[in-house]
């Protein structure tokens, strides 16, 4: 019997990482997970899980020991409300994680290295209009990301390219566009728009309001978790070393996304707008021309289909939280504007 490929997934306690652990295990890989925390919502079936702070060099060496392939997903990150307000910490933590991890992988003889980049690397000047066109991989330069998280991601892409050129490490780079789905962060400030709006709709009383950041006309595309996982696997098995979009081309306004959450809640809710809240760029979507050419594939799940799977899970979490608090405490928290 041939030896199983041994893979390391960093960020295995996070949303995408937890899902990826289970996906690669089902595909027959031996999986080691590593993260500073355990998964909050899932029980990923890793063969081995190590609780490690990957900002520290010695922990990256430990994590990559005996590993054939690395899936580098660990990052200090969150939704727009987080990455637009927490800058120094994000830069400090993520640069340490990514530079230590790729060098440890090189020293320990890792054969392939996947890096999870982001659509945040794309220039602000290409995202100033809501009615925008999808972003192509070649449009990353001249560089002008709209936040420090995007600058760090772009820097780490260049690190990966340098390690291929100078050390022969086979690197693969995916630029994720707003990945969402069940078992992800849905409260606390690090959640992304689909989860935030699902939570707000689930929390609201029938006849109440749904808070929307901005004017609701900013546009985005959102990629369902199952499509993201398939894209990661196909890219890692390909010969493509340049960055590749993993995202949907289905662009919607935030108002349209809010309408989906309201419809799934079955409630009569009106939208209230908060123009002073962080909004990010005005418009962003993925151009999948290259991913179709390179992988013969692109994400297939419509936003409505993905939201139909995401909303029930978040609604269940909200209901569980209310039950733990008790009806009087939950009602008081709701009136005070707290997340319940």
Which positions are annotated as active-site residues? 149
Query: Which one-letter DSSP state was computed for residue 189?
Result: S
| Cα angle 217, 218, 223; round to 5 | 120
Q: Is the peptide bond before 157 cis (omega within 30 degrees of 0)?
A: no
CA atoms within 13 A on the CB side of 179: 30
Cα–Cα dist 147/119, whole Å: 11
Cα–Cα dist 191/188, whole Å: 7
Cα–Cα nearest to 64, from 93, 89, 97: 97
Taking each helix axis from N to C terminus, what angle separates 225-237 and 15-26, rounded to the nearest 10 degrees?
A: 60
Query: Which one-letter DSSP state was computed for residue 65?
Result: T
Looking only at the bridges linking them, the beta strands covering 170-176 and 244-246 are parallel
Residue 143 token pair: 């560089």
SS3 of 268-279: CCEEEEECCCCC
């Amino acid at each position: 019997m041939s030896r199983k490929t041994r893979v390391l997934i960093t960020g295995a306690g996070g949303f995408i990482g937890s899902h990826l652990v289970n996906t690669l295990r089902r595909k027959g890989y031996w999986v080691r997970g590593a993260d500073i925390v355990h998964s909050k919502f899932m029980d990923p079936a890793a063969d081995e899980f190590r609780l490690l702070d990957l900002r520290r060099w010695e922990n990256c060496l430990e994590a990559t020991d005996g590993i054939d392939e690395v899936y580098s997903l660990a990052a200090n990150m969150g939704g727009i409300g987080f990455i637009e307000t927490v800058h120094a910490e994000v830069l400090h933590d993520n640069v340490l994680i990514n530079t230590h991890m790729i060098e440890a992988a090189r020293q320990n003889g890792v054969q392939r290295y996947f890096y999870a980049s982001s659509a945040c690397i794309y220039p602000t000047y290409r995202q100033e209009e809501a009615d925008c066109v999808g972003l192509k991989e070649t449009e990353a330069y001249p560089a002008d990301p709209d936040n420090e998280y995007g600058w760090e991601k772009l820097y780490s892409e260049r690190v990966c390219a340098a390690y291929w050129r100078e050390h022969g490490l086979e690197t693969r780079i995916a630029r994720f566009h707003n990945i969402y789905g069940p078992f992800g962060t849905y409260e606390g400030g690090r959640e992304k728009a689909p989860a935030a709006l699902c939570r707000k709709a689930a929390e609201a009383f029938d006849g109440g309001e749904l808070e929307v950041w901005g004017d609701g006309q900013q546009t985005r595309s959102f990629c369902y978790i199952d499509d993201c996982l398939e894209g990661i696997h196909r890219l890692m098995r390909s010969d493509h070393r340049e960055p590749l979009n993993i995202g949907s081309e289905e662009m919607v306004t935030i108002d349209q996304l809010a309408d989906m959450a309201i419809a799934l809640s079955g409630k009569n809710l009106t939208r209230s707008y908060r123009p002073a809240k962080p909004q990010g760029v005005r418009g962003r979507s993925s151009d999948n021309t290259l991913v179709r050419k390179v992988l013969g594939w692109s994400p297939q799940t419509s936003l409505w289909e993905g939201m139909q799977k995401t909303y029930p899970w978040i609604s269940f979490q909200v209901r569980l939280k209310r039950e733990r608090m008790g009806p009087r405490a939950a009602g008081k928290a709701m009136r005070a504007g707290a997340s319940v």
